[in-house]
Structure 1
Amino acid sequence: MNSLRRGMMMAGWVMACCLALFPSVSGAKDESGQAETRMRGQANAPVTLIEYSDFTCGYCLKFFRETWPRIQARYVDTGKVKFLYRDYPRADQGPGLDAALAARCAGGQGKYWAMHDRLFAEGGRIDQAVILRHAAAVGLTQATFERCLKEKSHVASIFEDREEANRWGFHGTPGFILMRTAGGPTEKEPAVAIPGAFPFEMFAEEIDRLLASAPHSRGGTERESLGRPVRSVERSRPLVRDPHVP
């Protein structure tokens, strides 16, 4: 058992409400038809990593800059991990919600990740001018994009992502769920809740452990897994998370 593992304190089981209380959604599509757009990696990768995040969150930016590139190179680009991005705007209005909406609207034109990455690169300094500048830079049809922003048709789906995070037990950003893709969490192999911007080494340890026992997946049961067993990863020292979130 390495020093990082010794420095962790594994919390007890977290049992959410019964699975029947939650919608049975395959994870391949949501009501906006964009869940596939917000996925990186192969749909049948043996392990799934879900991030719940806000474009204006400082520690979400820390994960994006420092930890995500290493996860992507070692696990996502090699077909071992499927990465799903979920929105968690910390406020009901303002730049976090505006950025999430902009990324969804860009996704409607096949540019979700281009917009996602540019918005995070702003370091939280997001306003309408920044959004429109990035829309032009990634080659969006401006009239279509601005109409999408005005109609706000993705807002309900954005807040559904936040509610999903709450059901996993997250009430701040960032939050991550790791689980086997095939079959979802079980009592023997629960989902792993990571409540904060932990270092790459911790993600790697948990991913490698899941890979060692994960069967080949056909994909697509992330939201159906709500309500199944979750193991929360914590450390004896304070979690690395956004101090502005209660």
Structure 2
Amino acid sequence: MRRFPINVLKPLGWLTLGLGIGCGGALVLQQWSSTSASVSKAPVERQRRPEAALTTELLLAGEPAMGSNDATLTIVEFSDFECSYCRRFHEQVLPSLKRTYIDTGHVRFIHKDLPLPFHRQAMPAAAAARCAGEQNRYWDLYGALFDQQTCLECKGVVAIAESINLDTSVLRACMRREATQTLIRSNLSEAELHNIRATPTFVIGPSRHDGTHHGNVVEGAMPWPQFKALIDQQLQAQKDR
């Protein structure tokens, strides 16, 4: 799981604040000590990152979706195509999730983009995947980008798209559109609103039919048995209502 300061427009500000990204996604705010003898030696309280929680409903219109609109639960994923923890979810959890719950009509799965600012290929990958949707191949490129994640730097997203027979001229034109970038930036703004700063992050809750979503926020690429237990718990809660 990777956590990061969401405001991608102020990288110099992060350096000034001494923001550090810890291994495994832990966000650490470094505390600076003064060399001045006149400064008090009292301990400084460590700043805490605001907890990720929905302050309003998520907006789902136009987001890539997998599964039935009538599914009992909806899972919204905030993810980064260059994040190793997101790849772990794709490899170790999503196949079982799809087979057990999505294909059987119990869960609808929706992707939102959260490209980390220090991943150079994350934004192009997000744009390419969205543009693959114009060729009805979003989930094909979604999978290929994670499968070939180690090749993102050396090959680039367009070459990966070409390897699965997408029309790359159409793809490039779509990637250059301001509307495509606006969609990704809207996901970033939405994540910031809810203090979602880790990838992957999931929002799990009952499905709605008004284009919005609300639910419990879960951070991290947890093992399949643990993720399955969360789903079963919520499915049972819906049965008991």
Question: Which structure is richer in relative contact order (CA contacts within 8 A, separation 6 or more)?
Answer: 1
Deviations 1:179-203 (A, max 9, x none): 011489xxxxx82211111111222
Counterpart secondary structure, 2:86: helix
Question: Partner residue of 1:220?
Answer: none
Q: Deviations over 1:70-117 (max 9, x none)?
A: 111111111110000110001187200010011111111111111110
1:108 is paired with a residue of what secondary structure? helix
Match for 1:39: what amino acid? A
How high is the sequence identity, in percent, across the aligned residues?
A: 26
The one-letter code sitting in structure 1 at the alignment partner of 2:162 is: A
**Cα–Cα, structure 1 residues 15 and 58, in superposed 2: closer, same or farther, change >3 Å?**
closer
Where does residue 94 of structure 2 map in the other structure? Answer: 68
Describe the shift of the 1:178–1:15 C-alpha distance in structure 2 as closer, same or farther (beyond 3 A). Answer: closer
The question of whether the paired residues in 1 share the 8 Å contact of 2:86 and 2:199 is answered with: yes
> Given the superposition, is the C-alpha separation of residues 143 and 104 from structure 1 closer, same or farther in structure 2, using an over 3 Å criterion?
same
Q: When the two structures are superposed, what TM-score results if normalisation uses the length of structure 1?
A: 0.67
Distance in 2 of aligned mates of 1:150 and 1:180: 36
The answer to whether the 8 Å contact 1:90/1:172 transfers is no
Unpaired runs of 5+ residues, structure 1, are 1-12, 185-189, 216-246
In our comparison, the structure showing a higher alpha carbon Rg is: 2
Q: After superposing the two structures, state which structure 1 stretch, 88-97 or 192-201, moved more.
A: 88-97
After superposition, residues 1-246 of structure 1 pair within 5 angstroms as 16-17=54-55, 19=56, 25=59, 27=60, 29-30=61-62, 35=63, 38-91=64-117, 94-127=120-153, 129-182=155-208, 191-214=215-238
Q: CA deviation at 1:132?
A: 2.4
Secondary structure at the residue paired with 2:69? coil
The structure richer in helix per residue is: 2
- Pick closer, same or farther for the CA change 1:52–1:14 going to 2, 3 Å: closer
Cα distance in 2 for partners of 1:147, 1:79 equals 35
Q: TM-score, normalised by structure 2?
A: 0.69
RMSD: 2.6
The whole-number CA distance in structure 1 between the counterparts of 2:52 and 2:142 is: 31
Q: For each residue in 1:133-183, what CA deviation from the matched residue of structure 2 results, as whole angstroms up to 9, or x when unmatched? A: 232233322321121223343111112112222333311211011001148
Distance 1:125 1:137, change over 3 A: closer
Task: Give structure 2 stretches of 5+ with no counterpart.
Answer: 1-50
